[in-house]
Structure 1
Amino acid sequence: MMKTSTYTSQIRPAIILLSLIFSFLIPGCKDPVKKVEDTKAPTSSLKLHTGDHKYYMADAKLSVLQWKGASLNGLNTQTGYIYLSKGELKVESGRLTGGVLEIDMNTIEDKYHGANSKLVNHLKDPDFFEVKKFPFAKIYITSVTPAKIGLKTINGDLTIKGISHPVSIPAQVEIADSAITANAKFTIDRTLWNVRYKSAKFYELLANQTMSDSISFQIKVVAKKQR
């Protein structure tokens, strides 16, 4: 009888311990941990050379892009604005040689500077620029070459919706000791950046419904030397 009692007294704590372990594990299997989605808005990953006197930092308050789109027949035209989030222009030996400009796609406005109109909301959805997924566009300047008198050709890559294509932009550039002002006009084929809404290349539509593949931009950039 003593042997049986001793054996039982040794087994009982082990059974209690196992019961406690299973009491924690089993509810976890029945009620798996819910995946918490990150609802924070995407933030810029662009790194700038702050503090370097060769770089002029773009002033987001003074810089602006005007955009223009139209139907294929040109009868229905829409215009508006969009703004930079940050950027820099590189100067060497008194000449503009490079830089990068980041465009905040969430700042799209219509011609009345409305930021929440039906047009603006449509431009932000997947039919056009899918801003929730691609909140920033970028212009990377790789070289600047002389053009006509008073003009430069800014060569680089334009990234929209995560897609990059080379661009050459004629611009008027004024460089002073404290600031750079650049003004440019250029046109892109939106379909190269997978903006296909009502494009005749991809949809069979009536003439008055078809939209032009061209989007025109007029851009003004003011960049200031960092002190």
Structure 2
Amino acid sequence: MTTVVVIAKECRPGRVKTRLTPPFSPVEAAHLAAASLDDTLAAVGDLPVARRLLYFAGTRVPALARDLGFELLPQADGGLDARLAHLFDVLAEPALLVGMDTPQLTTTDVAPALVGLAAPRSDATSSAVDCWFGPAADGGFWALGMREPRGDVIRGVPMSRADTGALQRRRLEAEGLAVGALPVLTDIDTADDASLVAAIAPSSRFAHEFRRLGAGRPA
């Protein structure tokens, strides 16, 4: 059984997408974050997997997550590395983690990981890969999959830096794990990122919200 996990936090003004302010207000940035999260949940809802999990920080769970049958797991305390490590410590089955900041996510983007994670170990081609890694354009990462989840290969990796992705992949490889590559995606941090992603996925909830709020307004 393969599990796909979306890590997310409650989209409250001043707590999410703060780098979108300006040009957007904190309330508008929260609306954009909520749209991005809903797009991600919908994309995961379309994946051919047995289990979907929302690893959530907050009290107001998105309605779409409940509608799509996501299980809810509250996030652990600590920094991002500790929270990710906790998730991969408690999961016992092959799992793929994705973030909430890539509303352009499609089944094609994660297909290699899903095939590899679901393949029996007797399949020599698929079993040669232990982990799947999705780098982000800003130097972080948007996806991490493991055939045998291990939190120790994440704990202690510096997060939210331009070299986070490189450091995380290096940690995986240093542990002797074979890493497969997923495509580079742009996650949404700045207004320029938002404009780019809205253009990539113009029919997404995020793009509609971006346009509604005044795409390209000056800072």
Q: TM-score, normalised by structure 2?
A: 0.23
Which has the bigger relative contact order, CA under 8 A and spacing at least 6? 2
Q: TM-score, normalised by structure 1?
A: 0.23
Larger strand percent: 1
Rg bigger for which structure? Answer: 1
Larger helix percent: 2
